[in-house]
Amino acid sequence: MDTVYSKNNLPKHIVKHSPTGMSWGYGGSGPADLALSLLAEVVGTAEAEKYYQYFKWEVVAGFKDGWRVSKEQIKEWYRSKKKEKSHAF
């Protein structure tokens, strides 16, 4: 069964920008930590460090209060972004 994250099922908080916690719906430090934490759960911390700011702006900043995202959706986003970045040059 695919894990689904939501405001009631958050990943373990990786504190990088926001010691007060994770957030969503805008482009600040709380959403940056949520983006990093979600990606790290799915692709590992090293890969998450490379992509979490993109994920924040493209996904997490658009979350509304009832947001839900599955591990599979995160993997799909990551694969697509990684492919896009590999063709950038």
* Amino acid sitting at position 84: E
More confident residue, 37 or 2: 37
pLDDT tens track for 31-89 = 999 999 999 999 999 999 999 999 999 999 999 999 999 999 999 999 999 998 777 65
Query: Is residue 6 within a helix (H) or strand (E), and if so which, with residue range?
Result: strand 4-6
- pTM for this entry: 0.93
5 strand-pairing partners: 69
Helix (H, G, I), strand (E, B) or coil at 70: strand
Q: What residue segments make up the domains of the chain, in order of their start?
A: 4-86
What is d(CA 80, CA 1) in angstroms, rounded to the nearest whole number? Answer: 22
Contact criterion met (CB below 8 Å) for 80 and 59? no
For residue 88, the model assigns a pLDDT of 61
First to last CA, the chain: 37
